[in-house]
Amino acid sequence: MRKAIGVFDSGVGGLTVVKELIHQLPNESIIYFGDTARVPYGIKSKETIIRFSIENILFLLKQEVKLICVACNTVSSMALPVIRGHFRVPIVGVISPGAREAVYATKNRRIGVIGTKATINSRAYEKEIKTLDSAITVISQACPLFVPFVEEGWLNERAVEDVAKVYLKPLKDARVDTIILGCTHYPLLKAVIKKVMGSNVVLIDSAKQVATEVKQILSNDGLFEQNNSKPQRLFYVSDGPAWFSGLAKQFLGYPVKDVTKVNPIS
C-alpha cells in the first residue's frame, strides 16, 4: 500500500515546501494539512503552537503517513524540539537544513535570519548556526508584515520594497553575505529582498533544503515509494478551502482544485 509523506503548516505557505518535495521526489504521494482556521502561528505562544502541532500530527498519522515534514518555520523553531520525542514517525523540520546550508554558503561568516516574531524570538536558527560554527555572527530580524503582503499577492509592489528596506537595514549594515528565508512565505519575496540587499547576497530557501533532507531520510530508512502508479496529492485545510485554492497557485506554481475542509481534532 502507498504511504504518503505528510506535510503540515499553519496555512498555505507550506506549499513552498510541497513544491520542492514534488520537484525532488516526483514519485512520492503527499498529504498536506494547512491549519487555515488558526493561522497565523507566528504571533502565538509556545504552548499554543505545541498544542496545535500535536493535533496536526495526530491528524496526519490517521492518514497513515510514513514521515512528517513540518513546513512551518514557527512550528519547527518553537515546538519541534518538544514534540519530536513523543512520536515514532520521522519528523523533519526546517531549521537544521536551513542553518546547515547557510553555514556552508557564507564566506564572510555573517549570516542574517528573517522570520516571524515567534521564530526570531526562539533564536532557534541562531543556536543551530552557533552549534555548527561558533565564530559566525548572526543578525536576526522579524518581518511580520511580509506574510500578509504575500497572502495579498503583493510581491513586487513599491510598498513591499519600502517595508523590506526598513526590515533589512540591520542586516545590510552588518554586511551579511547570506540570509536565511526563515518563513514559508519569504521565498516568494526573493526578488524584492535581492533588490534591497544586492545581488551578491545568497538567499537560503529552507524549502529546498528540507526536501533534500526528506529525500535523505527516505533513502536511509528504505522508505522510497516502490509503486509506479500515479502519486496522490491530497490537500486538507481546517477552514476556507476556496481561499486556499485561490492562493495555492502562487505558492505551488499550479492550481489546486480539490481541497477538503476537516477538523483536525475530531
Q: Is 9 in the site for ligand DGL (CB under 6 A)?
A: yes
Quick check: 187 and 207 in contact, CB under 8 A? yes
Is 183 among the catalytic positions?
yes
Cα 58 to Cα 68: distance, rounded to the nearest angstrom: 10
Query: DSSP assignment, residue 64?
Result: T
Q: Which of 39, 78, 192, 204 binds ligand DGL (CB under 6 A)?
A: 39
Please state the separation of Cα 132 from the chain's center in Å.
Answer: 21
Q: Which of 106, 119, 209, 238 binds ligand DGL (CB under 6 A)?
A: 119
Helix (H, G, I), strand (E, B) or coil at 251: helix
Cα 132 to Cα 143: distance, rounded to the nearest angstrom: 25
Question: What mask of x and - would describe binding to ligand DGL in positions 139 to 158, judged by CB under 6 A?
Answer: --------x-----------
Q: Is 238 in the site for ligand DGL (CB under 6 A)?
A: no
Q: Is 114 in the site for ligand DGL (CB under 6 A)?
A: no
Q: Which three cell numbers stand for residue 86?
A: 513523543
Q: Which of 96, 116, 122, 209 binds ligand DGL (CB under 6 A)?
A: 116
Q: Which of 29, 53, 56, 73 binds ligand DGL (CB under 6 A)?
A: 73
The least CB distance from residue 230 to ligand DGL, in Å, is 29
Q: Which three cell numbers stand for residue 38?
A: 488558526
Q: Which of 113, 183, 193, 197 is catalytic?
A: 183
The least CB distance from residue 115 to ligand DGL, in Å, is 6
Closest CA to 245 of 234, 233, 258: 258
Cα 157 to Cα 120: distance, rounded to the nearest angstrom: 25
Burial grade of 230 (CB within 10 A; 0-12, 13-18, 19 or more): exposed
Would you say 183 or 210 has its CB closer to ligand DGL?
A: 183
Q: Which of 21, 57, 65, 72 is catalytic?
A: 72
Mode of pairing for the β-strands spanning 5-9 and 67-70: parallel
Is 69 among the catalytic positions?
no
Q: Is 56 in the site for ligand DGL (CB under 6 A)?
A: no
Q: Which three cell numbers stand for residue 18?
A: 510541497
Would you say 74 or 225 has its CB closer to ligand DGL?
A: 74
| Contact residues for ligand DGL, defined by CB under 6 A | 9-11, 13, 39-42, 72-74, 115-116, 119, 147, 183-185
Catalytic positions are 72, 183
